[in-house]
């Protein structure tokens, strides 16, 4: 068992990462729906969503440096406050033009939480249970993702209520950071070459994270748009995001346990293949609500295993002194996926109709499977 003080330290870090889930799953679908309501097409909505990925690319390399200079607790608390202020900014203005810089700023805040907490969790996890711990981390992150759309169902997508609720959760979740943040590990200063050693050492983790970033962010941003395009309600679209997150809640710990016992590269490959097939089938099931919901839950749970399994693979393949920069690079690959996924899938919807969302994601996952298969002979 993981016990104190390690247990308290891990609990604080996992509580912090739940903020990322809430922040992303409230703002991405909420802002997408509001932009759709005033006439923006899926391509433009995807482009603005991609700013979160741009922020991640800009900030990720500096998070280990900032953690060394400021301390992990101070850095993460500052990030919480910045994200809260950005949510207040979204609430106070209906001017879509001002949302672009706010998207960039909240992306910077959430990235800082993402990179810092993942390093914290990976460094504090017992090596023999790293897969389980990363599965638990992803489960709590998924709870944050599920909470965001559930809040939208309760508060609606108009008015102040959804933003006020999200801000209250951010501030409440900062409490464990204040109480236990002093126990967080501090990364060692690293050279520039250390940042990219992960790509050479664990390319499978990098490619799987890239694919996951494309699929996850496109799902959160465009499932509500997909529902509207299929003549369903905005609430149905928000519910679909919650169903996707429910799958993550159910599947991550079992898959994490499997990754502690079996070859993580094979698990990544099998995940990509299975999820590419499932995504291809999804549009045909849209008219059958129960079947669509069941497949969406299963698909969301399995495809989201790409990220924790990649992180566990990273933790066992990279030297401890390189773990913080390696985590930063992995988050940069995720951010690249965040940037590419929504506009690519949005344009696919514009060209191919609503089903283009799932056909595009099936293509990304199939390409990732091909790359992972090509990498197999070169891996020890």
Tell me what pLDDT residue 366 has: 92
Tell me what pLDDT residue 1 has: 39
- Answer for the pair 250, 135: CB distance below 8 angstroms, yes or no: no
Contacts of 147 (CB under 8 A, 6+ apart): 21, 22, 25, 169
Tell me what pLDDT residue 319 has: 65
Measured distance CA(10)–CA(337) in Å, rounded: 27
Exposed/middle/buried for 375, CB within 10 Å: 0-12, 13-18, 19+? middle
Measured distance CA(48)–CA(44) in Å, rounded: 6
Tell me what pLDDT residue 2 has: 43
Measured distance CA(60)–CA(71) in Å, rounded: 16
How would you write the pLDDT of the chain (380 residues) with one tens digit per residue?
A: 344 556 677 777 777 777 777 777 777 778 777 777 777 776 677 777 777 777 877 887 788 788 888 888 888 889 989 989 998 998 888 777 888 888 889 888 888 888 888 778 877 777 667 777 777 877 777 777 767 777 777 887 788 888 888 888 888 778 878 877 676 777 666 555 556 665 666 778 888 888 988 888 888 778 888 887 777 776 777 778 778 878 877 877 787 777 777 777 788 888 899 889 998 988 888 778 888 888 888 888 888 888 878 877 776 766 666 666 777 777 778 878 877 888 888 888 888 888 888 899 999 999 989 988 887 654 44
- Answer for the pair 2, 103: CB distance below 8 angstroms, yes or no: no
6-182+195-378 CATH fold: Growth Hormone; Chain: A; (1.20.1250)
Tell me what pLDDT residue 3 has: 46
Exposed/middle/buried for 48, CB within 10 Å: 0-12, 13-18, 19+? buried
Tens digit of pLDDT for each residue in 132-178? 777 787 777 777 776 777 777 788 778 888 888 888 888 877 887 88
- Answer for the pair 306, 209: CB distance below 8 angstroms, yes or no: yes
Tell me what pLDDT residue 7 has: 67
- Answer for the pair 328, 204: CB distance below 8 angstroms, yes or no: no
Q: Which of 175, 2, 156 is nearest to 73 (CA)?
A: 175
Q: Where are the domains of the chain?
A: 6-182+195-378
């Amino acid at each position: 068992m993981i016990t104190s003080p390690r247990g308290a330290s891990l609990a604080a870090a996992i509580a912090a990462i739940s903020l990322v889930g809430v922040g992303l799953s409230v703002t991405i679908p909420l802002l997408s729906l509001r932009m759709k309501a005033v006439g923006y097409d899926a391509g433009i909505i995807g482009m603005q969503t991609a700013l979160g990925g741009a922020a991640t690319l800009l900030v990720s390399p500096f998070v280990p440096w900032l953690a060394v200079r400021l301390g992990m607790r101070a850095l993460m608390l500052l990030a919480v406050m910045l994200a809260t202020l950005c949510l207040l900014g979204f609430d106070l203005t209906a001017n879509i033009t001002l949302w672009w810089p706010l998207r960039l700023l909240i992306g910077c805040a959430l990235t800082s939480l993402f990179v810092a907490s993942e390093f914290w969790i990976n460094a504090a996890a017992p090596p023999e249970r790293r897969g389980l711990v990363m599965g638990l981390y992803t489960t709590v992150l998924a709870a944050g993702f599920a909470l965001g759309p559930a809040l939208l169902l309760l508060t609606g997508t108009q008015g102040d209520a959804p933003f006020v609720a999200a801000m209250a959760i951010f501030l409440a979740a900062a409490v464990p950071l204040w109480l236990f943040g002093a126990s967080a590990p501090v990364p060692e200063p690293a050279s520039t070459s250390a940042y990219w050693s992960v790509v050479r050492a664990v390319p499978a983790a990098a490619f799987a994270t890239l694919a996951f970033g494309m699929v996850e962010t496109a799902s959160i941003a465009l499932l509500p748009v997909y529902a509207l395009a299929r003549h369903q309600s905005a609430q149905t679209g928000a519910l679909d995001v919650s169903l996707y997150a429910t799958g993550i809640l159910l599947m991550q710990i079992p898959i994490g346990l499997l990754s502690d016992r079996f070859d993580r590269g094979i698990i990544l490959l099998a995940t990509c293949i299975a999820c590419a097939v499932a995504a291809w089938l999804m549009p045909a099931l849209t008219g059958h609500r129960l079947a669509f919901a069941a497949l969406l839950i299963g698909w969301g749970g399995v495809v989201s295993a790409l990220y924790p399994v990649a992180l566990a693979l990273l933790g066992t393949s990279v030297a401890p002194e390189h773990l913080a920069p390696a985590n930063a690079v992995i988050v940069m690959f995720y951010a690249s996926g965040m940037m590419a996924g929504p506009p690519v899938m949005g344009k696919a919807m514009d060209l191919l109709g609503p089903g283009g969302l799932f056909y595009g994601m099936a293509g990304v996952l199939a390409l990732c499977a091909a790359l992972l298969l090509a990498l197999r002979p070169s891996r020890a």
